Structure 1
Amino acid sequence: MSRQRIGAIVLLPVAFLALSARRTFGFLDHIPGLVEAAIVVVGVACALLGVRLWLQMPPGDKR
């Protein structure tokens, strides 16, 4: 398994947890809006990077 796929496997669950944390964990209702927005931005960034890494072809692999 390539390093890109391993990185994607790590990033995609992190993104899922970050994006679902707002609805799942009740104690997050007491954090400021800026922190909440930062969690969402990190979640989206992890999701996008994880998808990019998963779809990226390894060097030398021609389709």
Structure 2
Amino acid sequence: MSVDRLIAVVLLLVAFAALTVSKAAPFLDDLAGPVRMGVVVVGVASGLTGVWLWLRRSPR
């Protein structure tokens, strides 16, 4: 497995965790709006970057 794929897996796990926290965690309701939005933005950015790295062709 290439380094790109390993990083992609980590980023996709971060995105999944952010999605889970934003939808299922009751403690997130107590946080301020910008913090909740930050969790969502980090999740989306991690997911998109993970997919991009996974689908990118290796330089070989």
Q: Same fold (TM over 0.5)?
A: yes
- Identical aligned residues as a percent: 50
Instruction: Name the count of aligned residue pairs.
Output: 60
Unaligned stretches of 5+ residues in structure 2: none
- The runs of 4+ residues in structure 1 deviating greater than 6 Å are none
Q: Cα RMSD between the aligned structures?
A: 0.8
> Which whole-Å CA distance do the structure 2 matches of 1:9 and 1:46 have between them?
10
Deviation at 1:13, TM superposition (A): 1.0
Is the radius of gyration larger for structure 1 or structure 2?
Answer: 1
Deviation at 1:25, TM superposition (A): 1.1
Unaligned stretches of 5+ residues in structure 1: none
TM-score (norm 1): 0.89
TM-score (norm 2): 0.93
